[in-house]
Structure 1
Amino acid sequence: MTSDLVAVAEQAALTGELVEAARCADEVLASDAPLPELVRAAHVLAGVHAHRGMLADAAELHAWVAAVAPTCASPAAAVALVGTGREVPTTAPDPARPAPPTLRTGADGLVGKAVRASVQPGGSASALSDLTRAASLLECRAAPVLHDDSPAALGALVALHRGEPDLARTLVDRALVADLGGAPYRRRHLLLRAWADMTGGDLIAARAGLDAANARPEPLHARDELLAVALEAGLVRRAGDTRGLLAVWSRAREAVLRHAMDLWSLLAVGELAVVAGRLGQLGWLAPHLQAGDELLAALGQPVLWAAPWHWCAFLAAVAADDPPSAQRHAAHLAEAAVDPAAQAGSLAAVLARAARTWLHVLAGDVQADEVSAVAASLSDAGLAYDGARLAKEAAVRTSDKKVLATMLGLARGLLAGPATTAEIVAPAADAPPVVVTPSPRPCVLSDREREVAELLLDGLTYREIGDRLFITAKTVEHHVRGMRQRLGSESRTDLFADLRASLAS
Structure 2
Amino acid sequence: MRHQATPATESSLPANPQHTAAQLRGEDAVLRELLLALSVGFTLPGPLPGELSRRMADGEGESLNSLVARAESSGLLNPDGTVMGTVQHALLSSTPTPRVHALQRELVGCFAADGRPLGELARQLARTGLADPRVAADLEKAGDRALEHNPGLAAQLYDEALLAGADELATAARRAQAAFAIGDLDSASRIIDGLLMCPDPPDLRLGADVSAAVWAQRGMLARGADVYTWLGPERVGPSRPAAAVAMIGSGDREGAEAMFPKGSAPASPTSLAVAQAQMANGIMESLAGDPHQGLPILIHASDMLNASGAALPAPDTPGALAALVALHSGEPHLAETIVRAAAAAGQGGDAAKPRLFLLQAWSAMQQDNPDEARLAINEASKANHWPLVPRDEFLCAALEVGLARRSGEVHGLVLAWERAREAMLHTTLDLYSLLPWGELMITAARLRETRRVSHYFDEAWKLLRDLGEPPLWAVPFHWAAVQAALLNESPAALGPHAAALARAADHSHLASLLAAAGKAWVSVLAGKFQPADVEAAARGLNTVGMPWEGARLAGHAAARADERKDMLRLLSCARDLHPQSSSGGPKPSVQAEVHNVPDADQGNGTRPSDASVLSEREKEVARLVLEGKTYREIGEAIYISPRTAEHHIARMRRRLGAENRSDLLVRLRLALGPEEPPRE
C-alpha spacing 1:468/1:145, structure 2 compared with 1 (3 Å): farther
| Counterpart among 169, 182, 205 of residue 349 in structure 2 | 182
Q: After the TM superposition, which of the residue ranges 72-81 and 127-136 deviates more from structure 2?
A: 72-81
Q: 1:411 to 1:142 in 2, by over 3 A?
A: closer
Between the aligned partners of 1:424 and 1:402, the Cα distance in structure 2 is 27
- Cα distance in 2 for residues equivalent to 1:265 and 1:460: 42
* Selected match of 1:23 from 190, 201, 218: 190
**Residue of structure 2 in register with 1:410 after alignment:** 573
Task: Tell me what 1:353 maps to.
Answer: 516
Task: Name the structure 2 match of 1:322.
Answer: 490
Equivalence for 1:336: 504
Check if 1:136 corresponds to 2:299.
no
Question: Is residue 401 of structure 1 aligned with residue 564 of structure 2?
Answer: yes
**8 Å contact kept, 2:218–2:389:** yes
Measure the CA separation in 2 of the matches of 1:40 and 1:390: 50
Gap change, CA 1:253 and 1:122, over 3 Å in 2: same
Distance 2:328 2:483 in 1: 16
Question: Normalised by the size of structure 2, how large is the TM-score?
Answer: 0.61
2:665 to 458, 473, 480: 473
CA contact (8 A) 2:209 2:239 kept: no
Larger radius of gyration: 2
Moved more, 181-190 or 394-403: 394-403
Deviation at 1:473, TM superposition (A): 3.4
Deviation, 1:396, is 2.7
How many residues align? The count is: 440
Task: Please give the TM-score of this superposition, normalised by the length of structure 1.
Answer: 0.81
Contact 2:244/2:259, CA 8 A, preserved across alignment? no
Question: Which residue number in structure 2 is paired with residue 231 of structure 1?
Answer: 399
Match among 536, 539, 552 for residue 376 of structure 1: 539
Report the secondary structure of 2:299's partner residue: helix
* 1:235-268 deviation per Cα after TM superposition (whole angstroms, max 9, x unaligned): 1111111111001111010111111111000001
2:175 matched to which residue of 1?
A: 8
CA distance in 2, matches of 1:183, 1:25: 19
Tell whether the 8 Å contact from 1:66 to 1:89 is kept in structure 2 after alignment. no
CA distance in 1, matches of 2:287, 2:518: 23
State the shift of 1:100 in Å: 3.1
Residues 1:296 and 2:469 aligned together = no
Structure 1: gaps of 5 or more residues = 427-445, 450-458, 481-505
Q: Evaluate the alpha carbon distance shift between residue 9 and residue 282 of structure 1 in structure 2; reply closer, same or farther with a 3 A threshold.
A: same
Amino acid in structure 2 at the alignment position of 1:232: E
Return the alpha-carbon distance in structure 2 between the equivalents of residues 471 and 83 of structure 1: 41
Query: Which whole-Å CA distance do the structure 2 matches of 1:367 and 1:333 have between them?
Result: 21
| SS of residue matched to 2:308 | coil
CA contact (8 A) 1:183 1:218 kept: no
1:158-169 correspondence runs (5 A): 158-169=325-336
SS in 1 for 2:314: coil
Provide the aligned C-alpha RMSD in A. 2.8
Question: Structure 1 residue 214: deviation in Å?
Answer: 2.5
Q: What is the alpha-carbon distance in structure 1 between the residues aligned to residue 500 and residue 589 of structure 2?
A: 35
Q: Distance in 2 between matches of 1:24 and 1:416?
A: 49
Q: Where does residue 244 of structure 2 map in the other structure?
A: 78
Identity level (%): 36
Q: CA deviation at 1:460?
A: 11
Q: 1:207 to 1:469 in 2, by over 3 A?
A: farther
Query: Matches of residues 186-197 of structure 1 in structure 2 within 5 Å?
Result: 186-197=353-364
* Inter-partner Cα distance in structure 2 for 1:477 and 1:89: 58
CA pair 359-326 structure 1, distance change in 2 beyond 3 A? same
Report how far residue 323 of structure 1 moved.
2.4
How far 1:66 moved relative to its partner? 2.8
In the alignment, the residues of structure 1 paired with residue 388 and residue 343 of structure 2 have an alpha-carbon distance, to the nearest angstrom, of 18
Post-superposition offset of 1:471 = 3.5
How much does 1:374 deviate?
0.5
Equivalence for 1:462: 653
**1:305 partnered with 2:473:** yes
Tell me which amino acid in the other structure corresponds to 1:331.
Answer: A
- Which residue pairs with 1:43 in the alignment? 209
Q: Note the C-alpha offset of 1:328.
A: 2.7
Mark the CA change 1:412 to 1:148 in structure 2 (over 3 Å): closer, same or farther.
Answer: same
Shift in Å, 1:321: 2.3
Conserved 8 A contact 2:438-2:481:
yes
Superposition deviation, residue 479 in structure 1: 7.3
Letter aligned with residue 18 of structure 1: L
Verify the 8 A CA contact 1:46 1:62 in the aligned structure 2: yes
Equivalent position of 2:285 in the other structure: 117
Shift of 1:477: 9.7
Question: What's the secondary structure of 1:26's corresponding residue?
Answer: helix
CA shift for structure 1 position 466: 4.8
Q: Does 1:145 align with 2:336?
A: no
Check conservation: 1:462, 1:473, Cα contact below 8 A.
no
1:210–1:416 CA distance, 2 compared to 1 (3 A): same
Q: Please give the alpha-carbon distance, in whole angstroms, between the structure 1 residues aligned to 2:585 and 2:477.
A: 25
Tell whether 2:363 aligns with 1:171.
no
> In the alignment, does 2:389 pair up with 1:221?
yes
Q: Distance in 2 between matches of 1:11 and 1:44?
A: 10
* Comparing 392-401 and 258-267, the one that deviates more: 392-401
State whether residues 342 and 356 of structure 2, in contact with CA within 8 Å, keep that contact through their aligned partners in structure 1: yes
Change (3 A) 1:401 1:276: same
Pair 284,191 (structure 1): closer, same or farther in 2 beyond 3 Å: same
| Matched residue, 2:446 | 278
Letter in 1 for 2:564: K
Deviates more, 1:67-76 or 1:130-139: 67-76
Q: Deviations over 1:434-471 (max 9, x none)?
A: xxxxxxxxxxxx9x99xxxxxxxxx9993997566963
What is the alpha-carbon distance in structure 1 between the residues aligned to residue 449 and residue 651 of structure 2? 21
Task: Name the structure 2 match of 1:492.
Answer: none
Task: Indicate how the Cα distance of structure 1 residues 421 and 476 shifts in structure 2: closer, same or farther if over 3 A, else same.
Answer: farther
Shifted more, 185-194 versus 213-222: the winner is 213-222
Matches of 1:276 and 1:421, distance apart in 2: 31
Q: Is contact 1:73–1:91 with CA below 8 Å preserved after alignment?
A: no
Q: Would the aligned equivalents of 2:244 and 2:257 in 1 still touch at CA under 8 Å? A: no
Runs of 5+ consecutive residues of structure 2 not aligned to the other structure: 1-167, 591-606, 611-649, 673-680
Query: Per the alignment, in what secondary structure is the counterpart of residue 534 of structure 2?
Result: helix
1:130–1:467: structure 2 CA closer, same or farther, 3 Å change rule?
farther
Q: Which moved more, 1:253-262 or 1:316-325?
A: 316-325
Match of 1:2, SS state, is coil
